[in-house]
Chain A
Amino acid sequence: MEFFERFAIPHPSPAIYASMVAIALTMVAIVAGLTYFKKWGYLWREWLTTVDHKRIGIMYLISALLMLFRGGADAIMLRAQLAVPENKLLDAQHYNEIFTTHGIVMILFMAMPFIIALMNFVVPLQIGARDVAFPRLNALSFWLFFMGAMLLNISFVVGGSPDAGWTSYFPLAGTEFSESVGSNYYMIAIQIAGIGTLMTGVNFLTTILRMRAPGMTLMKMPMFTWSVLVTNVIIVFAFPVLTVLLAMGTFDRLFATHFFTTTNGGMDMLWANLFWVWGHPEVYILILPAFGVYSEVISTFARRNLYGYKSMVASMVLISLLSFLVWTHHFFTMGQGALTNSIFSITTMAIAVPTGVKIFNWLLTLWKGKIEITTPMLYSLLFIPLFTIGGVTGVMLGMSAADYQYHNTMFLVAHFHMVIIPGVVFAMLAGLTYWWPKMFGFMLNERIGKWTAWIIGISTLVAFMPMFFSGLDGQARRMYTYSESTGYGPLNMISFIGAVGLAVGFVLIAYNVYYSVRYSPRNISADPWDARSLEWATHSPVPEYNFAIVPQVDSSEAFWDAKKKGHELFKGEYEKIHMPNNSGVPFLMSCIFFVWGFSLVFSMWIPAIAATIGILACMAHRSFEKDHGRYISVEEVEETESKLRGAS
Chain B
Amino acid sequence: MKIDHSLPLEYSTEENRLKILGFWIFLGAEIMLFATLFASYFTLVDRTGSGPSGADIFEITPVLIETIVLLTSSFTIGLGVHAMRIGNKKAMLSFFAITLLLGAGFLGVEIYEFVHYAHIGAGIQTSAFTAILLTTLGTHGAHVTLGLLWGTAIILQVKKRGLTPETANKSFIFSLYWHFLDVVWIFIFSFVYLKGMM
Chain A partners chain B = yes
Residues of A within 8 A of B (CB): 133-134, 198, 201-203, 205-206, 209-211, 236-241, 243-245, 247-248, 251, 255-259, 261, 263-267, 270, 274, 277, 578, 616, 620, 623-624, 628
B3-37 residues at the A interface, CB under 8 angstroms = 17-19, 21-22, 25-26, 28-30, 32-33, 36-37
Contacts A256-B125, A258-B131, A623-B150 known; A133 to B43 CB distance under 8 Å?
no
Complex interface: chain A residues within 8 A of B48 (CB): 265
Selected from A206, A240, A623, the residue in CB contact (under 8 A) with B36 is A240
Q: Is B149 on the interface with A (CB-CB < 8 A)?
A: yes
Residues of chain B within 8 A of A259, CB atoms compared: 40, 44, 128, 131-132
From the candidates B30, B131, B154, name the one contacting A257 in the complex (CB within 8 A): B131
What are 8 inter-chain pairs, A to B, with CB distance below 8 A?
A: A237-B28, A244-B40, A248-B135, A251-B124, A251-B135, A264-B127, A265-B47, A265-B51
Chain A CB count within 10 A is highest, among B29, B51, B157, for B29
9 closest A-B pairs (Cβ-Cβ)? A265-B47, A264-B49, A265-B128, A265-B49, A240-B32, A240-B33, A257-B131, A244-B36, A206-B22
**Interface: B50 (CB within 8 A):** yes
Interchain CB contact under 8 A, A258 and B43: no
- Contacts beyond the supplied A270-B40, A624-B153: 13 A-B pairs with Cβ under 8 Å: A134-B19, A201-B25, A206-B25, A209-B21, A237-B32, A244-B37, A258-B127, A258-B131, A259-B44, A259-B132, A265-B129, A267-B128, A274-B36
B1 interfacial contact with A, CB 8 Å: yes
Our count of residue pairs bridging A and B at CB distance below 8 angstroms stands at 114
A133-B18, A241-B36, A258-B131 are known contacts. Are A267 and B44 too (CB-CB below 8 A)? yes
| In the complex, B126 has a CB within 8 A of chain A | yes
Residues B116-170 near A (CB distance < 8 A)? 124-129, 131-132, 135, 149-150, 153-154, 156-157, 170
Q: Is the CB of A239 within 8 A of B47?
A: no
CA distance A277 to B39 in the complex (A): 12
**How near does chain A come to B21, taking the closest CB pair, in angstroms?**
5
A239 vs B29: C-alpha distance when bound (angstroms): 8
Report yes or no: A245 in contact with B36, Cβ–Cβ below 8 A: yes
Is the beta-carbon distance between B44 and A270 smaller than 8 angstroms?
yes
Known: A206-B22, A265-B49, A274-B36. A198 touches B29 (CB 8 A): yes
The answer to whether residues A236 and B29 also contact, given A270-B43, A620-B153 and a CB cut-off of 8 A, is yes
A203 & B153 in contact (Cβ 8 Å cutoff)? no
Chain A residues near B25: list those with CB within 8 A. 201-202, 205-206, 236
Contact partners of A206 in chain B: CB under 8 A: 18, 21-22, 25
Known A237-B29, A241-B32, A263-B49; contact A210-B44, beta-carbon cutoff 8 A: no
Complex Cα gap A63–B116 (Å):
48
Given contacts A244-B37, A263-B49, A265-B49, contact A258 B22 (CB under 8 A): no
Flag if A265 contacts B44 (CB, 8 Å): yes
Q: How far is the CB of B141 from chain A (nearest CB, A)?
A: 14
